[in-house]
């Protein structure tokens, strides 16, 4: 996927004028946050579970090597394989290699953001293996040659008309705008693909160390068909998804569904524990887990470690007023919203991803809904510090800040500056009480008036003895 994060401002401007997108974003706002709120209100212990989940994740991250190795040995014991991939390229190559071993022509895929992160579809296609997305949202996007704009509702930026149009064009059926008809159509199309696929690729929401199991949660059941029908099942996931026990997994499942969609439990919770055993009625003959690092281990032990607690629920973006204004594509890479603003600079570099952690008012709504209490604004601020230290902050902002700081560190001179600015603004406003156009402040006055100071500065008046 092409990186467009450096163009965030331009992307955002376009997104704000996109009528269809704005309509779709309106639906998002009225959906997930409301449902989450209802689900949370119905669970008195929710806040305690968040603490528990945060603490457990911190424990896991402090012992990541131990749990990953335990997970690996259990997978092997169950007859599966684990592949450690440091980079996205390593993971691409390994997955292609497994596909080629079984001479795969087509591959069905369950929804996986890690596969987006490693740009898997493009790579497989370029190497003669046809990937087929089976999650309805992802399937629609694949038909439209589009990318996810949200981590759990990938086609949230589209409206019914867009889907109807895409299906009509690709399925060669009469056009319909009935969601039930469209869904049935997708089912029929996908059914054949499920049966024909040589390999099934899924992600994993969690990897369980004590049993060597991986789990996916879906609301469509497509994941089950993806992973049980083909001869080979590849799980592509990342190292921070490991949890010690099944019991621990259930803690996260309770938080995940409620935080994400407001469900008490996701409809399908499917565990995979090794390949088909003797006497099993179904299941793959080969079971592979591709464990992707891609910069994550570098975050352990740093100020960004807290980000590795993320369970990909999407609550942060669902509640974010910036995401709600511009949608996911504006962020220009795989992970949007607050979690993406922290993760993306780690993966594509702060030089390219620097806009994202800056595009936040630090309103704190994301942190207030995060099920594992990731201090997202604080982590975005760490990126700004990182940028500042590397002299990547735009020079106008840098000089402006330095000029201001000179005064802010000298109270007497700061008073003079306030006094002068106060006088200047009042003069500009004249008798109107507001300023409609102010040089160098177009960012403000293009869209709103600047209320004028209502009198001399407080410090002046206080000194003059006014009360």
Partner 1 sequence: MPNAEHHPRVGLFVTCLADMFRPSVAFATVRLLEQAGCIVEVPEAQTCCGQPAYNSGDKKTTQEIARQTIAAFEGFDYVVGPSGSCIGMLHYYVDLFEAGDSWKQRAEDLKARAFEITSFLIDVVGFDKISASFEGSVTYHDSCSGLRQLGVKQQPRTLLGKVENLELKEMEEAETCCGFGGTFCVKYPDISNRMVSNKTEYISNSGARTLVGGDLGCLLNMAGKLKREGKEVEARHVVEILAGMCDEPAIGEADYDLAKQL
448 lies in the site for partner 1, by CB under 8 A: yes
Question: What burial class does residue 168 get, using C-beta atoms within 10 Å of its C-beta: 0-12 exposed, 13-18 middle, 19+ buried?
Answer: middle
Query: Quick count: other Cβ atoms within 10 Å of Cβ 395?
Result: 8
Q: Which residue of 166, 359, 374, 376 would you call a contact of partner 1, by CB under 8 A? A: 359
List, in sequence order, every residue forming a beta bridge with 91; answer none if it has no partner: none
> Cβ 150 to partner 1, closest distance in Å?
18
Closest CB to partner 1 among residues 265, 404? 404
418 lies in the site for partner 1, by CB under 8 A: yes
414 lies in the site for partner 1, by CB under 8 A: yes
Length of the chain: 467
Distance CA 206, CA 107 (A): 22
> Cβ 332 to partner 1, closest distance in Å?
14
Buried b vs exposed e over 36-71: b needs ≥16 C-beta within 10 Å? beebbeeeeebeebbebbbebbbebbeebeebbebb
Pairing of strands 199-202, 106-109: parallel
Q: Which stretch binds partner 1 (CB under 8 A): 74-82, 113-121, 188-196, 377-385?
A: 377-385
Q: Which residue of 123, 215, 358, 379 would you call a contact of partner 1, by CB under 8 A? A: 358
Q: Which residue of 44, 361, 374, 403 would you call a contact of partner 1, by CB under 8 A? A: 361
Distance CA 452, CA 23 (A): 36
Distance CA 89, CA 122 (A): 12
Q: 306 to 325, contacts with partner 1 by CB under 8 A? A: 321-322, 325
Three-state DSSP class for residue 281: coil
Q: Which stretch binds partner 1 (CB under 8 A): 140-148, 172-180, 286-294, 432-440?
A: 432-440
Pairing of strands 130-133, 106-109: parallel
Residues 6+ apart with CB under 8 A from 445: 435, 436, 437, 438
Q: Which stretch binds partner 1 (CB under 8 A): 42-50, 68-76, 147-155, 408-416?
A: 408-416
Closest CB to partner 1 among residues 2, 454? 454
List, in sequence order, every residue forming a beta bridge with 24; answer none if it has no partner: none
List, in sequence order, every residue forming a beta bridge with 290; answer none if it has no partner: 83, 236
Q: 165 to 194, contacts with partner 1 by CB under 8 A? A: none
Tell me the two tokens of residue 448: 């709103």
Site track for partner 1 across 12-31, x = CB under 8 A: xx--x---------------
Tell me the two tokens of residue 180: 């039930």
Closest CB to partner 1 among residues 279, 443? 443
49 lies in the site for partner 1, by CB under 8 A: no
Q: Which residue of 160, 183, 399, 462 would you call a contact of partner 1, by CB under 8 A? A: 462
> Cβ 260 to partner 1, closest distance in Å?
20
Closest CB to partner 1 among residues 265, 444? 444
Closest CB to partner 1 among residues 284, 377? 377
Q: Which residue of 126, 183, 195, 408 would you call a contact of partner 1, by CB under 8 A? A: 408
């Amino acid at each position: 996927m092409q990186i467009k994060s450096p163009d965030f401002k331009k992307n955002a401007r376009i997104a704000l004028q996109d009528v269809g997108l704005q309509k779709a974003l309106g639906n998002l706002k009225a959906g997930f946050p409301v449902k989450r709120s209802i689900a949370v209100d119905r669970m008195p212990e929710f806040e305690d579970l968040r603490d528990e989940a945060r603490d457990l994740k911190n424990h896991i991250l402090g012992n990541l090597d131990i749990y990953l190795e335990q997970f690996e040995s259990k997978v092997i014991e169950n007859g599966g394989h684990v592949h450690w991939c440091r980079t996205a390229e390593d993971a691409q190559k390994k997955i292609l290699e497994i596909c080629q071993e079984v001479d795969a022509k087509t591959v069905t895929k369950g929804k996986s953001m890690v596969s987006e992160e490693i740009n898997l579809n493009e790579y497989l296609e370029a190497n003669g293996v046809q990937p087929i997305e089976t999650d309805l949202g992802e399937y629609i996007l694949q038909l439209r040659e589009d990318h996810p704009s949200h981590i759990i509702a990938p086609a949230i930026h589209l409206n019914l008309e867009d889907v109807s149009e895409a299906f009509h064009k690709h399925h060669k059926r009469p056009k319909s705008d009935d969601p039930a008809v469209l869904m049935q159509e997708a089912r029929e199309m996908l059914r054949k693909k499920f049966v024909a696929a040589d390999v099934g690729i899924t992600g994993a929401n969690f990897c369980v160390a004590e049993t060597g199991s991986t789990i996916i949660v879906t609301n469509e059941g497509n994941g089950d068909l993806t992973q049980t029908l083909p001869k080979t099942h590849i799980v592509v996931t990342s190292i921070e998804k490991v949890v010690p026990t099944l019991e621990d997994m259930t803690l996260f499942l309770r938080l995940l569904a409620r935080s994400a969609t407001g469900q008490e439990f996701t409809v399908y919770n499917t565990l995979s524990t090794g390949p088909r055993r003797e006497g099993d009625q179904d299941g793959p003959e080969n079971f592979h887990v591709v464990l992707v690092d891609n910069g994550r281990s570098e975050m352990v032990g740093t100020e960004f470690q807290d980000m590795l607690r993320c369970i990909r629920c999407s609550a942060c973006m669902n509640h974010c007023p910036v995401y709600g204004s511009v949608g996911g594509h504006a962020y220009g890479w795989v992970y949007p919203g607050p979690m993406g603003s922290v993760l993306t600079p780690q993966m594509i570099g702060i030089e390219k991803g620097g806009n994202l952690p800056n595009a936040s008012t630090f309103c704190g709504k994301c942190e207030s809904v995060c099920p594992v209490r990731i201090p997202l604004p604080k982590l975005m601020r760490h990126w700004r510090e990182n940028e500042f230290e590397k002299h990547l902050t735009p020079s106008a902002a840098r000089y402006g800040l330095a000029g201001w700081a000179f005064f802010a560190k000298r109270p007497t001179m700061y008073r003079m500056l306030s006094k002068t600015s106060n006088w200047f603004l009042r003069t500009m406003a004249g008798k109107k009480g507001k300023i409609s156009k102010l040089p160098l402040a177009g960012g403000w006055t293009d869209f709103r008036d600047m209320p004028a100071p209502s009198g001399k500065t407080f410090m002046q008046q206080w000194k003059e003895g006014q009360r």
